[in-house]
Amino acid sequence: MTVLPFSVILRIIARLNYSVGEKMGLMDIKSGRDVPNEINVIIEIPMHGEPVKYEVNKETGALFVDRFMTTAMFYPTNYGYVPKTLSEDGDPVDVLVVTPVPLISGAVIPCRVVGMLKMTDEAGVDTKVLAVPTSKLSKMYDHVKTYEDLPHPLLLSIEHFFQHYKDLEEGKWVKVDGWQGPDAARNEIISSVARFEQDQ
């Protein structure tokens, strides 16, 4: 079997892209293959990464530094959003993605929804959908049907992080209201997709 050098593979891909004549960017990513059961999540912040809050600019698709976190804390899971959704807070649906290793910013991962963390902050209602990779990516999470199937210490770590990550930011606060199951999370996604489509 002949193995092509990496540089040759890159040239082939570049030619294919050129011949198609279209570029693919984050703005072109769909909400998922089978919304709300299977969703695409665009990762903004890797699990256990540096204390920097990144956000993808929804108009340009570029990854911006939103702010440097003042607390000495890191995100307990990968953090991103579902494209082509609009939450009540005016942003896309936030998603916490549980994986065995950190993902890079800008990666797109197909996920299955298992729950939702309901919170309130200085701006109003704030929800975080909790998801795991689809079975095609990893069988490791096939047994996880609801957030309750994940390790309890992980859930406590997520709650603690969001309860305190804004503690040193003046005028900001968060109150964790508790976990809800996958049905509530799917309803959140459905209504956010509808809100996005109405806004177009």
For residue 158, the domain's CATH number is 3.90.80.10
Q: What is the pLDDT of residue 15?
A: 53
b/e map 83-113, b = 16+ CB within 10 Å: bbbbbeeeebbbbbbbbeebbebeeebbbbb
- Let me know if residue 195 belongs to a domain: yes
> From the CB of residue 74, how many other CB atoms can be counted at a distance below 10 Å?
17
- Let me know if residue 68 belongs to a domain: yes
- Let me know if residue 141 belongs to a domain: yes
- Please report, in range form, the residues annotated as the binding site for Mg(2+): 89, 94, 126
- Let me know if residue 1 belongs to a domain: no
Residue 77 tokens, joined: 């899971």
Long-range contacts of 34-38 (CB under 8 A, 24+ apart): 35/189, 35/190, 35/193, 36/113, 36/185, 36/186, 36/187, 36/189, 36/190, 36/193, 37/112, 37/113, 37/186, 38/110, 38/111, 38/112, 38/134
For residue 188, which of 35, 32, 33, 28 has the smallest C-alpha distance?
A: 35
Ramachandran quadrant class, 21 (left: phi over 0; alpha: psi -120 to 50; beta: rest): left
pLDDT digit string, tens, across residues 22-60: 556 778 899 999 999 999 999 999 999 888 999 888 788
- Count the domains in the chain: 1
Tell me what the mean pLDDT of segment 57-81 comes to. Answer: 91
Domain hosting residue 185, numbered range = 26-199
**pLDDT bucket at 7, cuts 50 / 70 / 90:** low
- Let me know if residue 13 belongs to a domain: no
- Please report, in range form, the residues annotated as the binding site for substrate: 53, 67, 79, 165
Going by their DSSP bridges, the two strands 94-97 and 124-133 should be labelled as parallel
- Let me know if residue 9 belongs to a domain: no
Q: What is the pLDDT of residue 19?
A: 45
- Let me know if residue 135 belongs to a domain: yes
- Please report, in range form, the residues annotated as the binding site: 53, 67, 79, 89, 94, 126, 165
- Let me know if residue 117 belongs to a domain: yes
